[in-house]
Amino acid sequence: MARVLHMRILGIETSCDETAAAVVEGRCGAFGRVLSNVVSSQVEIHKKYGGVVPEVAAREHVLNILPVVNEALIKAGAMIKKSPNSAACGKQGAKEKDVQIDAIAVTIGPGLVTSLIVGIETAKVLSYAWNIPAVAVNHIEGHIYANYISENSKFQIPNKSKIQNIQFPALILTVSGGHTMLVLMRGHGKYKTIGETRDDAAGEAFDKAAAMMKIGYPGGPVISTYAGKFQIQNSKSISLPRPMINSGDYDFSFSGLKTALLYELKNDKNYKKRIPEYCYEFQQAVIDVLIAKTVKAAKEYKVKTVMLSGGVSANVELRKQMAEAVKSRVPNSKFQIPNLKYTTDNAAMIAAAGYFKAARKKFTPWQKLKVDCDAEL
């Protein structure tokens, strides 16, 4: 049993515009360490179109996937067990003491079909050639498990690690370019979505707002930087709505906020001079709604842990203000956030989720690995 639970997992992520591969290690049902984490971002390529172009993304994944996987294996010092199917090796001249890969975790969805397929076909081929099992991982589940990744290079001792903060039931606010969801997690693999966006995702709203102000792509980091430059003590004159903040449920809507911003900009001939203020107010409107709904759900479900995940959880103000809100308004819940570098798309989070699924023996034969663009948790 212990042997099964001590595993090194190769993670592969290609759901959108990052080609990523990573090797992580888990032990005794707890996350161990990240042995390598390689992300090849296409952001510079998509920038000129103001968003991800699926066909371009897929072509880039095809070009990048093998070099990225190879780099992740080499950085992890990985050796692949010789199998009846092949004599494949992650590293030339690997020695006995080198790390062995025990399973491959791959994102099967949600995401762009032509992008996902590149990662999945690669995982299938490696699973077959190396004769090791595969684990199908939901992209949102991957974002959630970014919370389990510790930067500590030593093994986490179960029950004594920082990760013991993650106690169930847990509530996760997943905010990314494609999703805004409140998920109740009652145990590993036990999820219930209690609310989600009815239109734009939070990250998508940031991206579209930045496009309207013509300040760059992706919008989240740019808006966050401008917002930080606004001095609130200098009179604030712009006021945007907080959509659905008092709707009584856990759903979100950000398209109205985006439209409200558009009208404000149209009516302001000097808007270019007030970009920091627009960014501040837009960011604060999104944060206010996210915090209100998260705190309400944390109270109702009496959760022991509140977590953030997804690209928007890189937002410094969201991290800070949510931490304060949980501490003061839900003092019986612990607050957990992923390390910044695991908030946006990466494969370490996919491998981490894969480890916890592998520990529960949730494998998928390579023949059955397939894209699920609208995969649900």
Residues within the interface to ligand KG4 (CB under 6 A): 16, 176-178, 203-204, 206-207, 218-221, 224, 310-312, 314-315, 344-345
Query: Least separation, in Å, of the C-beta of 83 and ligand KG4?
Result: 33
If the CB atoms of residues 90 and 203 are measured against Zn ion, the closer one turns out to be: 203
Q: Which of 114, 122, 174, 176 binds Zn ion (CB under 5 A)?
A: 176
- H or E element in which residue 192 lies: strand 190-196
Quickly count: other Cβ atoms within 10 Å of residue 2's Cβ.
8
* Spatial distance between the Cα atoms of 242 and 322, rounded to a whole number of angstroms: 16
Distance, C-alpha 350 to centroid of its chain:
9
If phi > 0 it is left, if psi is from -120 to 50 it is alpha, else beta; for residue 302 that is left
Between 30 and 52, CB nearer to ligand KG4 = 52
SS (HEC) of 225-276: HHHHHCCCCCCCCCCCCCCCCCCCCCCECCHHHHHHHHHHHHCCCCHHHHHH
Q: Which does 207 bind (CB under 5 to 8 A by kind): ligand KG4, Zn ion, none?
A: ligand KG4
Regarding 207 and contact with Zn ion (CB under 5 A), the answer is no
Residue 219 contact partner, candidates Zn ion, ligand KG4, none, CB within 5 to 8 A by sort of partner = ligand KG4
What residue 315 binds from Zn ion, ligand KG4, none (CB within 5 to 8 A, per partner kind)? ligand KG4
Q: Identify which of residues 226 and 363 has a Cβ nearer to ligand KG4 in the complex.
A: 226
Smallest distance from ligand KG4 to CB 97, Å:
36
Q: Which does 11 bind (CB under 5 to 8 A by kind): ligand KG4, Zn ion, none?
A: none
Both tokens of 192, joined, read 């219930």
Distance CA 208, CA 224 (A): 14
Q: With respect to ligand KG4, which residue has the nearer C-beta, 181 or 369?
A: 181
Say whether residue 345 binds Zn ion (CB under 5 A): yes
Q: For residues 346 and 13, is the Cβ–Cβ distance under 8 A?
A: yes
Closest C-alpha to 321, from 346, 286, 351, 296: 286
Nearer to ligand KG4, 90 or 142 (CB): 142
Nearer to Zn ion, 156 or 197 (CB): 197
By the 8 A CB rule, do 253 and 198 touch? yes
Contact between 102 and Zn ion by CB under 5 A: the answer reads no
Is the alpha carbon torsion for 127, 133, 139, 143 positive or negative? Answer: negative
How far apart are CB 329 and Zn ion at their closest, in Å?
28
The minimum distance between CB 314 and ligand KG4, in angstroms, equals 4
CB of 219 to ligand KG4, least distance (A): 5
